[in-house]
Amino acid sequence: MSDAGKLRAEVIKLRREKRRGKEVIVVEGFPADVDVEELARSLKSRCGAGGTVKGRAIELQGDHRERIEAMLLERGFRSKRAGG
């Protein structure tokens, strides 16, 4: 991982979707050296939400974009909201 306070070049995209009337946040765009499973566990724990990993994307139940952005920034990732 990168040094504290140093942002990585990749931009992680946060996309909000509605599935069966409920909101889901899809977090994608991670580089190959990131352990997506471990990051998903941390995000789910911090947001107090359920979720899953599909491929290299993390899906979290509920609209927790602010918390997700803050946690990604702590880990050195820039994020961008995409879609609604």
What is the per-residue pLDDT for 2? Answer: 45
Measure Cα distances from 67 to 6, 42, 55, 58, 63 in Å. Answer: 19, 11, 22, 14, 9
pLDDT in tens, 37-70: 999 999 999 999 999 999 999 999 999 999 999 9
Tell the CATH topology of 11-82: Translation Initiation Factor Eif1 (3.30.780)
The pLDDT-based confidence of 4 (bands split at 50, 70, 90) is low
Is pTM beyond 0.75? Reply is yes
For the residues of 1-69, what is the DSSP string, one character each?
-PPTT---S-EEEEEEEEETTEEEEEEE---TTS-HHHHHHHHHHHHT--EEEETTEEEEES--HHHHH
30 half-sphere exposure, CB direction, 13 A CA radius: 21
Q: Is the pLDDT of residue 22 over 80?
A: yes
Q: What's the chain's average pLDDT?
A: 89
